[in-house]
Amino acid sequence: MSLVFSRNLLLLLKSIVISSLLYLNCASASDDAPIRVTFINPASPSVPFWGRLTEQMQHAADDLGIELKILYGDSNRGHYISSLLAEIESNQPPDVLIYIYIRQRGEVVLKAAEHAGVKSFIINSSVPADERSKVKRPRERFSQWIGNMAADDEKVGFDLANYLIDMNKQRDHSHSNLIALSGLRSVATTLERDKGLHRAVEQQSSTTLKQLVHTDWRAHKTSAIATGLLTRFPKTDLVWAASDSLALEARKAAIAQTPDKNPTMLFGGVDWSEAGLAAISDGQLDVSYGGHFMEGAWAMVLVHDYFGGADFAKETVQFKTELAPANQQNVVAIKAAIKALDDGDIDYRQFSLLHTNPSLPYDFSWEKVVAETKASQANIERAN
């Protein structure tokens, strides 16, 4: 009797486990329970790039029926990691945690999320080259790490440097002295952009990189750094900056040191920030590379499709965002498209393969964004 009883008990327990697993799988894709996503912004709400990225994430979440929670790391590495771990270990962790990868600490977060069964999606950063053999790609060592989206930052650094160098050649300058203001040394984004800068300078014998200095992205500290660099290298021709805010702080420092308040050096940044685009319009900034503020929204689209049964892994688990230059020639069109995005004049369901055509590849290009904003505005005009 005891043997039969034990066998029946095992069968009953097995049935319960299988039923529970089936229930959980169904619940994760249920239309009644929205996908719960937490995004931990590494900066503060006042940082222009991250503010716009977060805003578009929210627009996408609203369009796709995702419950989005936003927290802030306030540009503090220790606080950021603590916030990530606290969210993972909370009583009600999210279905998906979206964040940036922090050098030498990102593996700790991936391990914690793996142990807790919380899915990770990393944006706006990639695993540094010296950690890739250990951390590997999404879904290899860490099965809960479902995807990664980052700009081709090495190419961004390379393109920005070459753009400035070519502009200086058009002014009949045979040689360019360049100074560089970069970002946090602990983020792969910074290191990749630096690498691209160095590659461009190595290929351009007419250009000398006088000095590259890392910053914590904050304007009030950058001003002093830029002043020091320009004092040390008064014959600077080009200022390469890893963000628009860094470039604009460098320009302020240059204006303060120029007798006629009209510095002749060229300034280039990254981000397409509101201030950066306005400065391009006014002739205060020569170029800005951007478009990657859309990565948060694209992550929402991919997470939505993943939980809806259309796994993006059939295309890739590592998406690359290609940044485009904003300059005097195209800045008006770029500002118009961004205003439409800020106003919510875009339906992010049009980028979801679940809502369009699952057999097609994802199109997250800026051209597609512009086309969708124009189509949305045309629909609004017809409705009125």
Here the tokens at position 169 are 């050649």
Backbone angles phi, psi at 348, to 5 degrees: -70, -10
The answer to whether 209 and 200 are in contact (CB under 8 A) is no
pLDDT digits (tens, 9 = 90+) for 123-172: 999 998 899 999 999 999 999 999 999 999 999 999 999 999 999 999 99
- Does 357 map to a domain? yes
pTM: 0.81
Assess whether 162 and 141 both reside in one domain: no
pLDDT digits (tens, 9 = 90+) for 16-25: 443 343 334 4
- Does 339 map to a domain? no
- Does 283 map to a domain? no
Assess whether 38 and 146 both reside in one domain: yes
- Does 299 map to a domain? yes
Q: Between 175 and 222, whose confidence is greater?
A: 175
Assess whether 207 and 309 both reside in one domain: no
What distance in Å separates the CA atoms of residue 285 and residue 103, rounded to the nearest whole number? Answer: 31
Assess whether 141 and 230 both reside in one domain: no
Q: Between 221 and 160, whose confidence is greater?
A: 160
pLDDT band at 379 (very low <50, low <70, confident <90, very high): confident
pLDDT digits (tens, 9 = 90+) for 29-47: 445 799 999 999 999 998 8
Report how many domains make up the chain: 2
- Does 144 map to a domain? yes
- Does 11 map to a domain? no
Percent of the chain with pLDDT over 90: 78
Assess whether 222 and 201 both reside in one domain: yes
pLDDT digits (tens, 9 = 90+) for 319-372: 999 899 999 999 999 999 999 999 999 999 999 999 999 999 999 999 999 999
Predicted pLDDT at 221: 80
Whether the pLDDT of residue 10 is over 80: the answer is: no
pLDDT band at 188 (very low <50, low <70, confident <90, very high): confident
Assess whether 161 and 130 both reside in one domain: no
Assess whether 39 and 140 both reside in one domain: yes
Assess whether 192 and 240 both reside in one domain: yes
Predicted pLDDT at 21: 39
CATH of the domain at 161: 3.40.50.2300
Predicted pLDDT at 218: 75
Whether the pLDDT of residue 376 is over 80: the answer is: no
Assess whether 264 and 309 both reside in one domain: no
pLDDT band at 239 (very low <50, low <70, confident <90, very high): very high
pLDDT digits (tens, 9 = 90+) for 270-328: 999 999 999 999 999 999 999 999 999 999 999 999 999 999 999 999 999 989 999 99
Its domain, for residue 220, covers 154-270
Assess whether 39 and 146 both reside in one domain: yes
- Does 27 map to a domain? no
Assess whether 222 and 300 both reside in one domain: no
User: SS3 string of the chain?
Assistant: CHHHHHHHHHHHHHHHHHHHHHHHHHHHCCCCCCCEEEEEECCCCCCHHHHHHHHHHHHHHHHHCCEEEEEECCCCHHHHHHHHHHHHCCCCCCCEEEECCECCCHHHHHHHHHHHCCEEEEECCCCCHHHHHHHCCCCCCCCCEEEEEEECHHHHHHHHHHHHHHHHHHCCCCCEEEEEEECCCCEHHHHHHHHHHHHHHHHCCCEEEEEEEECCCCHHHHHHHHHHHHHHCCCCCEEEECCHHHHHHHHHHHHHHCCCCCCCCEEEEECCCHHHHHHHHCCCCCEEEECHHHHHHHHHHHHHHHHCCCCHHHCCCEEEECCEEECCCCHHHHHHHHHHHHCCCCCHHHHCCCCCCCCCCCCCCHHHHHHHHHHHHHHHHHHC
- Does 13 map to a domain? no
Assess whether 142 and 158 both reside in one domain: no
